[in-house]
Amino acid sequence: MTAPPVPGAGVRRSWIDAAGLAGRSRGVRALTACVVALAVLVAVGGTLLPVARPDDRPLSVMAGLGLAALLVTAGQLARLRFRLGRGVVSVSWGEAAFIIGYVVAPPGWLPLATLTGAAVAWALLSWLDEHRNVAEVAHLAASLALGTAGAATVARLIGGDGAVLGVRTQIALVAGALTYLLITFGLAALTLALHRDAAAEQIFARIPYAKVPMFVGNVLVGLGAVAVLVRKPIWLLAFGPALWLLQRTYRMHLRAEEERRMWEAFAAATAALPGRTEADVAEAGLRGALDVFGARRVEIEVRVAGGERRYAEDGPGHDISLGGRTGPAITRSMAVAGEVVGELTVWLAEPTLPAPRDEAAISAYGDALAAALHDAAAHDQLTELRRRADHDGVHDQVTGLRNRGSLLTDGDRLMRELERDSHVALLLLDVRGFREVNGTLGHRGGDDVLRLIAERLSELSRGSELVARVGDDEFALLVPGLTALADSSTPLHETPPPLPSAVRRARELAEHVGLPMEVAGVRLAVEIAVGVVVGRAGRIELTELVRRAALALDQAKRQELAVATYDTSQDAVTIDELALLAELQDALAAHDQIVLHLQPAVDLVTAAPTGVEALVRWQHPRRGQLSPNDFIRTVEHTELLTPFTHRVLDLALSAAASWAAVGVEVPVSVNVSARSLLDPAFPGQVADALRRHRAPASSLVLEITESVAVSDEAIVDDVLAELRDSGVQLSLDDFGTGYSSLSIVTRAPVDEIKIDRSFVDDMIDSSAAEAVVRGAVELGARLGVRVVAEGVETTEQRAALIELGCPNAQGYHFCKPMPADRIVQALTQLTEAAPDNIRPLRADDAS
């Protein structure tokens, strides 16, 4: 962000930049100004003091001043440095220079000599490698001058004009050196604190640690040099090697301490790097780099998919807006197992070339930071995957709605929070014909339809209602706290039932969801079926509500209703259907549950038997006697068809044998499943049954429906032909109710036509029904096949059929279906009562 311009800022910026104060805080600027001004004042004031030279001083005034300034310069050039936070502290031979200078030069002139010598030394150092600006050089020289001024004052007050080698003067020199140390230490600590290069506790812990040993050496060297200078100056030549060894010892001491500090900080910083997120790691990495390397600025660039993210932090007290000076930048690429994670850039505090150890440490730190960033990225990915898994575990991935499991969990919790007697409704919605939508628009288009339906349901949901997708094309809406609707028919003292309110809501949903929508450029509308169930929150579980709503929905789809409600009678039906297959298997194994009821067909005029139809019944051990409508669909659509047909043929042929044994020669008719006529093995199954019972083929009539007889399947023609060739007779059942024309009797030749009972029922009152019956009778006569009218129940119907010339009939008017143990007696009675004009089922000349 760019700061707004301030009037006069350009002029002020120019002299600030020229003085080298840019990038330094206001406190540091103020301190620099005060220190420099005070140092100049002290230096000038000191020259005004009288120059008194005791006789034991070894040099003249001018020579002493020159030597003092030269010692200050040499002491500063030989300084040792160590890093403190983001700053650098120098340890020099200043105390030794003061002690010698105090002896060889007038004390009042020492501040000026120190100021001059220090300025020359730091200017030279800045020109050579440190590139310090004017303000910094002036601040350093002024600080040393103030330290010298304080030290000279203390030494003068204590030592007076005593002898140079006297005890009093020696104590004064030590006290002055200590004063010099305290003043320079205090100014350095204040500068670091104002510039926020290091914490106060760090300053007061590490500066004394580095300066105290050097101070002791300074004092010893200074006092020794003074003694040699006064007594035997030639021995000063021996100080060179000693000072060199002492300098090396101090340097190694500081370097070892600096290495220890840096690696301790490195260990602490890298230990703090691991974090849960990339931002946490980057923040810790910035703080650690600033602390470990005493950097002015650190930047971390993290490579991410599609770009990069950049993190940066400046060291305390560094005013970037003022264009402050920083040291060189070291950039290192961060990688893990060859995969680049990002880059680390560190701006060092000092404007000098970085030391190899700094580069090595930054590289090592970058490796640790790269590993932490890589781990954080992996953690972020795992967190995202876990979040997705948690979300997908309770939400539908296509619509974003709750899934079935989430509906059950959240719904149960919601129901437990309601009052025990409050009503809850569950509406289960199904999209009719959704398979056709998928087939036409593709699965992507189908998903779009589901999403639109989900949006509409969500828009219609209220408050705490829960919407979920519970199946491929099924949705659910849980309505807690259902409000019942009262109408004019509800008595005032009664609470209106809640079901009408739920039904009304279901109709609203079906109407709104069924509005036209546009998907993949196609404008379409879907039909919705809704199953509705209502229960009390404290008396039923949600899983039971779902089961009941599914039963209601099945009823709505089966009856093609928009809305259907749950009925308790559906429970038994559903349970029975679920158990039906297993119970049928048990029935076929039991040999006494699948039975036949037999109904004779008779001559309309004489009432003599002309055939018997076998009607299968199931003596269910729990549900009682069941008609074929209750179980035949399950038989036809499972592998039970073959053993079931085997059982029925055995029972029918066994019954036929029983009445043939008493001289009643009429065939037995058995209804054939449509699937049996699609089975090439079916004729062989029939032939095997006839062989087992030693029965002639003519004793068996297989009844087929008209719709099966006109099937386009070629196999049906083959099976029918093979059955006819074997001698088995064929009967066309329910004639007139299928899709056929009269060509059926030529395509599938039969021996008998059975007129459907619906025409017999209506023929008295309907001329159309009478015409159908008349046509069937005439057709049978012309083709030479038997014609049997089904469902004759009244004398009027019998008379009408006789008048139309129908030869045979079957129905309650003549005989009801009866068990096999009674059929022989009934047939015998009918035969004995009839005149001798019975015609056989197939005439001798019939084909």
Direct distance between the N- and C-terminal alpha carbons of the chain, in angstroms, rounded to an integer: 108
**CB atoms < 10 A from the CB of 224, how many?**
17
Active site residue 283: no
Query: What are the backbone angles phi and psi of residue 418, rounded to the nearest 5°?
Result: -85, 165
> Which residues have CB under 8 Å from 199's CB, separation 6+?
85
- Residues 776/572, Cβ–Cβ less than 8 Å: no
Q: At what angle do helices 356-394 and 404-417 cross, to 10 degrees?
A: 70
- DSSP secondary structure of 423-474: EEEEEEEEETTHHHHHHHHHHHHHHHHHHHHHHHHHHH--TT-EEEE-SSSE
Q: Considering 301, 465, 703, 790, which one is annotated as catalytic?
A: 790
The Cα 758–Cα 776 span in angstroms is 14
| The two structure tokens encoding residue 273 | 């790097």
Residue 738: name the closest of 718, 761, 714, 754 by CA.
Answer: 754
- Residues 317/195, Cβ–Cβ less than 8 Å: yes
Beta strand pairing call for 668-671 and 609-620: parallel
Q: Residue 307: which H helix or E strand, with range? A: strand 307-314
The Cα 171–Cα 371 span in angstroms is 59
Q: How distant is the alpha carbon of residue 138 from its chain centre?
A: 64
Residue 214: name the closest of 78, 313, 326 by CA.
Answer: 78
**CB atoms < 10 A from the CB of 786, how many?**
25
> Tokens 């890298």 appear where?
270
Residue 161: name the closest of 314, 263, 50 by CA.
Answer: 50
Cα–Cα–Cα angle for 70, 71, 75, rounded to 5 degrees: 120
The one-letter amino acid at 282: A
The Cα 717–Cα 712 span in angstroms is 9
Alpha helical stretches, state H, 81-126: 94-104, 110-125
| The two structure tokens encoding residue 347 | 């701006």
Q: At what angle do helices 9-19 and 134-159 cross, to 10 degrees?
A: 60
The Cα 454–Cα 509 span in angstroms is 11
Strand-pairing partners, residue 752, are 731, 786
The one-letter amino acid at 25: S
- Residues 312/286, Cβ–Cβ less than 8 Å: yes
Half-sphere exposure of 492 (CA within 13 A, CB side): 0
> Which residues have CB under 8 Å from 765's CB, separation 6+?
none
The Cα 508–Cα 584 span in angstroms is 43
Return the DSSP state at 402.
B
The sign of the torsion formed by the CA atoms of 713, 717, 720, 722 equals negative
The Cα 439–Cα 447 span in angstroms is 12
The Cα 96–Cα 374 span in angstroms is 54
Q: At what angle do helices 94-104 and 61-77 cross, to 10 degrees?
A: 180
Instruction: Name the percent of the chain in helix, strand, coil, to the closest 5.
Output: 55, 15, 30
Radius of gyration of the chain, Cα coordinates, nearest whole angstrom: 57
| The two structure tokens encoding residue 725 | 């060739």
- Residues 623/629, Cβ–Cβ less than 8 Å: no
The Cα 814–Cα 830 span in angstroms is 10
Q: Which residues are catalytic?
A: 790
